[in-house]
Structure 1
Amino acid sequence: MSADRTAATRSVVHELLRRIGEGDPQSIADLYAEDCDWRLDWPEEEHGRADTPWIRHRSSRADAAAHYRELAAHHVPEEAGTTVGHILADGEDAVVLGVIRQTAAPTGRPYSARFALHLTVRDGLVVRHHVYEDSLAVARAFAPQAGAARLP
């Protein structure tokens, strides 16, 4: 049973990554449970800043769609890329390790940030989405002046 659950989790994770690559926020959000636990490993005082509004905790499928819309609106899509190094799955949990490359639309500054994404999949839907990323790289790219971002 555990091997079947792991295979099902891995399948959902691969589909999620495929949809993220396609960039349709609603299609991506359709893989999230109506109620989900979405956390980002950023200092609370940095959540929801005007220059990085997608960086905040979320709790629903609608929030997931909003995240991907806000993320796209603040980056240059033609200059984005993600490299997935590993996908580790065990039962209903999976961890995706990789590097994102983006360019901040307001400043034109590119950045690269390593990430770990912890997902939990139940009944074919993502119920947990916890992201750990290089928040300093993101903050610096969006800071009004290069290098002016405070350490998060």
Structure 2
Amino acid sequence: MSRVVVGAALVRDGRVLAARRTRPASAAGRWELPGGAVEPGEDEATALARELREELALHDVGVGERVGPEVPLPGERVLRIRVCAAAGEPTALEHDALAWLGPEELDGIDWLDADRAVLPALGALLRPPGPSSAPS
């Protein structure tokens, strides 16, 4: 059975929060959606709330639906991204920079490969629905 790693698509005002890694050396300077491993006894929502508290000092985290595909990771792990909301401003406790990105800015930074796999779905989530294309 695969071990689950959860990532937060923390969405606010049509933008998503990206966090720049400081470690390990192979990932330093690259961007990710914040999150981490689901620990034994936790469900995905509990793990995300814990990770956002530990990494960003965020409380009152609401965890919603999954977005994008399940992404295979090394070591028999999988990454699942969930839409999240939280009150307050995030503080980078484990990263060296944070950025709120709109859908047109997602391709402009150096994402970790696993997170890059969910960018099309994330961009679609952030874009407001267009006018109906149904004939009138």
Return the TM-score normalized by structure 1: 0.27
TM-score, normalised by the number of residues in structure 2 = 0.29
Asked which structure has the greater RCO (Cα within 8 Å, sep 6+), the reply is: 2
